[in-house]
């Protein structure tokens, strides 16, 4: 298509811009228009996708018939089938009379399904039947009706990813995507930014009978360097904000920075670790993780007490039976079944008999593990001026375990 033809289309439909990708999209829309092929338009929100179905309809043989634009994301899931395909009287609560759907009303015309990626899976099945056989049934009816509708769809979601996640049917995607049209975001069409800004500022000034604002060279450069996450819609809003708020009609770079969100923030690369959607998918898995953490804390505590006993082994002489009992208790792995509702894990104290041979030095010391723990906890807290985090590091246990022990032993 010649540049003159593209320029005429831009003038007719109010399209602003001279970027190569924009001209290519217009060219594809004009070429596919005379056919009955389905078209899928993809692009970020705010890039102006809604104008291309109008171009396709205008240059098709259906231009004298109905053109209906439907925002699929704005219709509740419970009523979307009724809106698209109609319903019979009494088919559901509130269906007081028969209703024609868009596919019946737009017969021999064009339907533009905006945000088609938001359609429920059940509606996608119905739409696939329309595309494959030109048939549909009203809600609450068993009668098959024929329709001859040209479908143009648009979406701002990643359809391939939606297919992988089971949110969009792969066969429907291939049916809709007979001819793809990709609308590039504004950050990839930097040569169009100032042209659009100037158009929006001029239109606003004309509607409100005020002088149009103008930009200095550094302000133009800032506009072109900005990323425009909201695309054309965001650019229009900012042009109108500046036109209303600023008294001066010539805007420089420093003044325009105030209207560009996070422009002065340093954009460092962010490290992102994807989170599996299955992680913590149930309360049971969350509980398991808590229990495993508790088990680790218990093992840490056992190791601490074991180190204490080993450090004093020269002073303490147990009978063979009791030594075996200690050894068994501190060396065996914890039984995961020893879980109760109150304390999560119950540590079974070893049994001692009364036949303990020891020296006078040992008799002066307490053989209670609990007393040893309390003594060590107090020393660690005194050493670190009551700071539990440092005390826990000194003891080789987690801060949560230390807090639990302080509460259990009522350590002040």
Same structural domain, 152 and 60: yes
Name the band, by pLDDT with cuts 50, 70 and 90, for residue 296. confident
Q: Are strands 144-146 and 135-137 parallel, antiparallel or unpaired?
A: antiparallel
Contacts of 110 (CB under 8 A, 6+ apart): 53, 56, 57, 60, 62, 65, 66, 67, 68, 149, 150, 151, 152
Same structural domain, 164 and 217: no
Same structural domain, 170 and 251: no
Whether residue 75 lies inside any domain: the answer is yes
Whether residue 271 lies inside any domain: the answer is no
Name the band, by pLDDT with cuts 50, 70 and 90, for residue 39. very high
**44 lies in which domain range?**
3-184
Same structural domain, 238 and 193: yes
Same structural domain, 47 and 90: yes
Same structural domain, 125 and 211: no
Question: Per residue in 87-143, pLDDT tens?
Answer: 998 888 888 888 999 999 999 999 999 999 999 999 999 999 999 999 999 999 889
Ranking 59-73, 141-155, 378-392 by mean pLDDT, the lowest is 378-392
Among candidate residues 184, 215, 243, the one where a domain is terminated:
184
Which pTM does this prediction carry?
0.62
Whether residue 269 lies inside any domain: the answer is no
Whether residue 268 lies inside any domain: the answer is no
The distance of Cα 195 from the centroid of its chain, to the nearest Å, equals: 33
Q: Say if residue 349's pLDDT is above 80.
A: no
Q: Say if residue 73's pLDDT is above 50.
A: yes
Name the band, by pLDDT with cuts 50, 70 and 90, for residue 346. very low
Question: Per residue in 213-268, pLDDT tens?
Answer: 999 999 999 999 999 999 999 999 999 999 999 999 999 999 999 999 865 454 44
Whether residue 350 lies inside any domain: the answer is yes
Among candidate residues 257, 275, 309, the one where a domain is terminated:
257
Same structural domain, 31 and 129: yes
Same structural domain, 247 and 363: no
Domain with residue 66: its CATH number is: 3.40.50.300
Question: Per residue in 136-173, pLDDT tens?
Answer: 999 998 899 999 999 999 999 999 999 999 999 999 99
What is the reported pLDDT for 344? 42
Name the band, by pLDDT with cuts 50, 70 and 90, for residue 340. very low
Whole-number percent of the chain with pLDDT over 70: 79
Phi-psi region of 213 (alpha: psi -120 to 50; beta: other; left: phi over 0): beta
Q: Say if residue 272's pLDDT is above 50.
A: no
Same structural domain, 367 and 353: yes
Q: Say if residue 42's pLDDT is above 90.
A: yes
Domain with residue 243: its CATH number is: 1.10.8.60
Same structural domain, 248 and 163: no
Among candidate residues 165, 184, 203, the one where a domain is terminated:
184
Name the band, by pLDDT with cuts 50, 70 and 90, for residue 376. confident
Per-residue CA distances from 68 to 65, 133, 261, 352 (Å) = 10, 21, 36, 87
Whether residue 198 lies inside any domain: the answer is yes
Q: Say if residue 327's pLDDT is above 60.
A: no
């Amino acid at each position: 298509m010649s540049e003159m033809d593209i320029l005429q289309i831009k003038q007719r439909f109010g399209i602003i811009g001279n970027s190569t990708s924009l001209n290519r999209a217009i060219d594809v829309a004009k070429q596919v228009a005379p056919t009955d092929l389905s078209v899928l338009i993809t692009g970020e929100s705010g890039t102006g996708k809604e104008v291309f179905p109008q171009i396709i309809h205008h240059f098709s043989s259906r231009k004298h018939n109905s053109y209906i634009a439907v925002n699929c994301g704005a219709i509740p899931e419970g009523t979307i089938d009724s809106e698209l395909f109609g319903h019979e009287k009494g088919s559901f609560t509130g269906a007081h009379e028969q209703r024609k759907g868009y596919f019946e009303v737009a017969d021999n015309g064009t339907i533009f399904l905006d945000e088609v990626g938001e359609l429920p899976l059940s509606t996608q099945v119905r739409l696939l039947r329309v595309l494959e056989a030109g048939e549909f049934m009203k809600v609450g009816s068993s009668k098959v009706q024929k329709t001859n509708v040209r479908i143009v769809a648009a979406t701002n979601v990643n359809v391939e990813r939606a297919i992988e996640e089971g949110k969009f049917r792969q066969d429907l995607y291939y049916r809709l995507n007979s001819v793809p049209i990709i609308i590039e975001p504004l950050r990839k069409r930097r040569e169009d930014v100032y042209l659009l800004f100037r158009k929006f500022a001029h239109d606003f000034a004309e509607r409100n009978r005020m002088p149009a604002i103008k930009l200095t060279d550094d302000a133009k450069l800032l506009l072109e360097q900005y990323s425009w996450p909201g695309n054309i819609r965001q650019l229009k809003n900012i042009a109108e904000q500046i036109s209303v708020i600023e008294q001066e009609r010539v805007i420089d770079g420093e003044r325009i920075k105030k209207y560009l969100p996070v422009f002065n923030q340093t954009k460092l690369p962010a490290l992102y670790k994807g989170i599996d959607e299955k992680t913590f998918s149930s309360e049971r898995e969350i509980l398991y993780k808590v229990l495993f953490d508790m088990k680790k804390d218990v093992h840490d505590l056992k190791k601490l007490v074991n180190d204490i006993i080993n450090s004093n082994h020269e002073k303490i002489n147990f009978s063979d039976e009791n030594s075996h009992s200690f050894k068994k208790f501190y060396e065996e792995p914890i039984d995961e079944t020893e879980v109760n509702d109150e304390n999560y894990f119950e540590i079974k104290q070893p049994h001692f008999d009364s036949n303990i041979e020891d020296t006078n030095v040992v008799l002066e010391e307490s053989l209670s593990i609990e007393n040893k723990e309390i003594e060590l906890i107090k020393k660690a807290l005194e050493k670190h001026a009551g700071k539990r985090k440092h005390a826990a590091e000194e003891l080789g246990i987690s801060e949560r375990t230390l807090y639990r022990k302080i509460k259990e032993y009522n350590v002040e």
